[in-house]
Amino acid sequence: MIFLLNLDLTKMRNKNTYLQFLHIYLTRVFSMVLILTSFLFSNCQTNSQKNQNSILGYKLIVDYPDRKEVYILPVENIVGNELSDILAGYSLQQEPSIRFVSTSQSIEIMDVLGTRNNLQYAWRLYVDYKEVSPSDLKKSKPIQLNQIIQLKYLPLRKVILP
């Protein structure tokens, strides 16, 4: 009888050891799965934010008297890095549609998204908040990706001649 009791106890110890091993194994596996899934989800979220913000391109801000619109032209659509090339790229892409008048000495912006120059308002071009004259635009100024390009629809300046 003592012998049978010992057998039962050893069987119980073996079962208990097996259950302990199973418990430890499952908790480790569960914790590893939890860590891996949290890593994957955090990685997916950062990748989606990177994809939205990582579009390399030139940023154009179009200021109307009543609203402001922002456009981004990807670098792949540009032939050069000069201001006239970038504006021509926007014009070819039609977002926004820009129309120019070019002479031998200057390039003037005449129409942006159907809003034309008139006797009261005209389009003016700014790079990093400094106005670019039509003659400077013809001289082809190089532009960096981080510079701000703005088109503003502003009232005409009246020049009084003596």
**pLDDT per position as a tens digit, 88-133:** 777 777 777 888 888 888 888 888 888 898 888 889 999 988 998 8
The reply to whether 65 and 48 lie within a common domain is: no
Query: Do β-strands 107-112 and 121-127 pair in parallel, antiparallel, or remain unpaired?
Result: unpaired
Note the pTM of the prediction, 2 decimals.
0.60
What average pLDDT does range 6-10 have in this prediction?
A: 47
Asked if 69 and 15 sit in the same domain, the reply is no
Tokens of 57: 């391109």
Domain that holds residue 89: 57-155
Q: Do 74 and 144 belong together in one domain?
A: yes
Q: How far apart are CA 28 and CA 24, in angstroms?
A: 6
**In the prediction, which pLDDT does 75 show?**
75
Residues 82, 149: one domain?
yes
In 3D, which of 115, 111, 108, 76 has the Cα closest to residue 93? 76
pLDDT for 150 equals 92
Whether residue 107 is found in the same domain as residue 121: yes
Q: Which amino acid is at 69?
A: E
91 shares a domain with 49: no
Q: Which residues contact 113 (CB under 8 A, 6 or more apart)?
A: 62, 69, 96, 97
CA 48 to mean position of chain CA atoms: 11
Q: Structural domain tally of the chain?
A: 2
CATH number assigned to the domain comprising residue 107: 2.170.130.30
Q: How far apart are CA 12 and CA 14, in angstroms?
A: 5
Residue 5 pLDDT greater than 60, yes or no: no
Segment 14-72, tens digit of pLDDT: 557 777 877 888 888 888 887 877 777 776 655 444 444 556 778 889 988 888 988 88
